[in-house]
Structure 1
Amino acid sequence: MKYKELMKKALEAREYAYVPYSSFPVGAALLTKSGKVYTGCNIECASYGGTNCAERTAIFKAVSEGEKEIEAIAVVGDLENYTFPCGICRQVIVEFGRDIKIIIGKSENDYKIYSMEEILPHSFSPDSLK
């Protein structure tokens, strides 16, 4: 799957965001190394601690179905500016590998590709516990 197609799926997922408090929808599309795609959107909760980000929603869906090898994750929030994963999402992403590509976009034709090291340098990961 091309990153443009992954970004399109993230944009589609963004449409399902439940954001009654922030009015800031975010969509994510995760590509596993086996070729499967899992999408997620942010879901807010009146007790803010119950809120879940789009990236983690997609990751949790993949992991709950047995997929733990992630190739890439596309993220789109604000359509005028690039929206990067929050700190918690970066930590969850690196849990599944330092080689995951992070695609940050505003549209299916306007995106940038980053490595985990670029968005979370010197991370604490499973390797840190060995």
Structure 2
Amino acid sequence: MSVDSDFDALFAAAGRVQPLAYAPYSHFKVGAAILADDGAIYAGCNVENAAYPVGACAEAGAISAMIAGGSQRIVAILVMGEGEALVTPCGACRQRIREFANPDTPVAIAGPSGIRQRFSLAELLPASFGPDNLRR
């Protein structure tokens, strides 16, 4: 697969789950899809909670699905949000992604009509702390 076809598949997967997001408070639905190192695609959507800090981001859901599916590494990730502004991963999700991805991993940011911008994880989380920092 080419990078563009990978992102087409991620866009389709994120687009399928975004409408399923549970967002009764913010009404802001987000979908995310991961391409894992084994070629599988895993998707997740945000799930809010009346106690705001305990909600879950779409990226966290996709990562959980990836781990539950038996994959360990993120090759690429796409995040789909609503509105005109770029919906990039929050700081906590950038760190979650870093746990399973390399600094050069592509992160695509999309809206309903397509991909708006691509970043490397290093651009979103420069000089990051990751698993390599703890290996001896």
Answer yes or no: same fold by TM over 0.5.
Answer: yes
Residues in 1 aligned to 2:87 and 2:14: alpha-carbon distance in whole angstroms: 12
Correspondence for 1:63: 67
> Which letter does structure 1 place at the counterpart of 2:40?
K
Residues in 2 aligned to 1:5 and 1:79: alpha-carbon distance in whole angstroms: 22
Correspondence for 1:106: 111
> Which letter does structure 2 place at the counterpart of 1:112?
Q
Residues in 2 aligned to 1:37 and 1:77: alpha-carbon distance in whole angstroms: 18
Of residues 71, 77, 93 in structure 2, which corresponds to 1:73? Answer: 77
State the percentage of identical aligned residues: 42
Between 1:103-112 and 1:33-42, the stretch displaced more is 103-112
**Structure 2 contact 108–115 (Cα < 8 Å) conserved:** no
Correspondence for 2:25: 21
Correspondence for 1:95: 99
Q: How far off is 1:100 after superposition?
A: 2.1
1:13-46 CA-to-partner distances (Å, cap 9, x unmatched) read 1111000111110000111111101110000011
Q: 1:56 aligns to what SS in structure 2?
A: helix
Between 1:23-32 and 1:92-101, the stretch displaced more is 92-101
Residues in 1 aligned to 2:55 and 2:123: alpha-carbon distance in whole angstroms: 26
Correspondence for 1:127: 132
Structure 1 regions of 5+ residues with no counterpart? none
**Structure 1 contact 78–106 (Cα < 8 Å) conserved:** yes
Q: Give me the TM-score of the superposition, normalised by structure 2.
A: 0.89
Whose RCO is larger (CA < 8 A, sep 6+)? Answer: 1
**Structure 2 contact 34–77 (Cα < 8 Å) conserved:** yes
Q: How far off is 1:108 after superposition?
A: 5.2
Is residue 45 of structure 1 aligned with residue 84 of structure 2? no
How large is the RMSD of aligned CA atoms in angstroms?
1.4
Q: Give me the TM-score of the superposition, normalised by structure 1.
A: 0.92
Residues in 2 aligned to 1:96 and 1:110: alpha-carbon distance in whole angstroms: 22
Q: 2:20 aligns to what SS in structure 1?
A: coil
Structure 2 regions of 5+ residues with no counterpart? none
**Structure 1 contact 5–108 (Cα < 8 Å) conserved:** no
